[in-house]
Structure 1
């Protein structure tokens, strides 16, 4: 699964790098080293211009709520959806048939850019002791930005047609592969740049193979490093969360060797 990640880019820089339309605008963006569900996050979509629907679809950088809100969600008050469990992850192998996600699989797919993501390695405690949890940060060895497959939704309050639409997204997950299986059995689904055109195509369904578990080569350049348990609390948010630590300092119970 992917319940926390880090992103330090801003929408303007991201749009420039991708030759995309920046739909976020000139708002202050602070690097987020501890992104949690319900946070507003950056996404990349490919859409036609509303005023020129026949023109070629372009990449667009948008901000969305992390935690997809299905189209049929009722409103708690005008323009505000009923609170529920945030759908921040969707299983790639089941999304096409899951009511909350199947419409998005067909029509609204996105990329979620990130510096890397966190997972917790769990080892049983000795005897009656509590299980030990060591957070790890997974990132590209060369420091390059990662792009994960996502789905998105546009929620509108049908009873309040003048209210602003709410954009939300979820990150697709798949079985972990390669060395990452030592830390967790799930991982976010990486989307290589070679597949972006097919994945983001707003006019055609995505090829089924893009939702399949990738081979180990897809994460061959991903490295996992143990980091401070400070990341356990969303109140902590700074570059120190990414600093490597020595797990043996916590009792030597955690090891990937």
Structure 2
């Protein structure tokens, strides 16, 4: 799964790098997902990349657009809690790539509302027996950070939705997204059995195409080659709390217990 990640890009720079249209409000603060955020958590506003036609004109060529969305997809059929506010439900911040096309919450988005979620890297936790002799059955969780070895931005496959309060004549649309996950491959299996689904650049046209469903092959578990440039390293427990948010979350630390190191679970470098 992917429940936390880090990003240091902003919408303007991303738009220039991708030759995309920036449709975000650049005046928002860091917690809204526009700027540096070392501890992005579900329900945060995050940056996404979509490809869409100009509104009301499906005859023009679609263009890449940078949009801000709530991380945690809200299905279009979600009921209203109060005017303009959807009922709170299970936070759909991840979707299994192998089941999304047949899951009610995601199947419509799989067809025509696919996106990319840019990130510097994501966090996962290695779980092992508590080495400090705590209560029987107690476990210790060691956070790890996965990122590109060359420091480049990672683009993960996502889905998005537009929710409106149908009881209001002029309901402001609420954009939300989820990150697709798949079986971990390669060395990443030492950290967790799941990982976000990377979307290589050569597949962007097919994945983001607003007029046609994506090839089913793009939802399959990728080969180990796709993640060969991703490295994992232990990071401080500071990341365990969403209140902590700074570059110190990415500081390298020694890798866990001796038993874990011997089994190859901890140090991948």
TM-score by length of 1: 0.96
**1:93 and 2:101 equivalent?**
no
Tell me whether 1:50 sits opposite 2:55 in the alignment.
yes
Distance 2:169 2:232 in 1: 47
The Cα shift of 1:129 comes to 5.3
Find out whether 1:68 has 2:76 as its counterpart: no
Structure 1 residue 130: Cα displacement:
1.8
- Specify the alignment match of 1:22 in structure 2: 22
CA RMSD of aligned residues (A): 1.3
The 10-residue stretch of structure 1 (8-17 or 120-129) with the greater mean CA deviation from structure 2: 120-129
Alignment of 1:1-257 (within 5 A): 1-28=1-28, 29-125=34-130, 128=136, 130-248=138-256, 251-255=257-261, 256=264
Contact kept? 1:95, 1:105, Cα under 8 Å: yes
- In structure 1, runs of 5+ residues without a counterpart are none
Q: Secondary structure at the match of 1:247?
A: coil
Q: State the distance in 1 between where 2:177 and 2:102 align.
A: 17
Do the aligned residues in 2 keep the contact of 1:132 with 1:253 (CA within 8 Å)? no
- Alpha-carbon distance, 1:52 to partner: 3.2
> What is the CA–CA distance in structure 1 between the aligned matches of 2:103 and 2:159, rounded to whole Å?
12
In the TM superposition, residue 73 of structure 1 has moved relative to its aligned partner by: 0.2
Distance in 2 (CA, whole Å) between partners of 1:50 and 1:121 is: 45
> Secondary structure of 2:176's partner?
strand
**Whole-angstrom CA distance in 2 between matches of 1:195 and 1:228:** 35
Give CA-to-partner distance per residue, 1:35-90, whole Å, 9 cap, x none: 00000000000000014331100000000000000010000011110011110000
Contact 1:66/1:169 (8 A) holds in 2: yes
CA–CA separation in structure 2 for the residues paired with 1:195 and 1:207: 10
When structure 1 is superposed on structure 2, of 118-127 and 143-152 the one drifting more is 118-127
Alpha-carbon distance, 1:93 to partner: 0.1
Indicate conservation of the 8 Å contact 1:247/1:253, yes or no.
no
Runs of 5+ unmatched residues, structure 2: 29-33
Q: What SS class does the counterpart of residue 153 from structure 1 fall into?
A: strand
Per the normalisation by structure 2, the TM-score is 0.92
Residue 31 of structure 2 corresponds to which residue in structure 1?
Answer: none
Alignment length, in residue pairs? 255
- Asked whether the equivalents of residues 134 and 254 of structure 1 are also in contact (C-alpha less than 8 Å), the reply is no
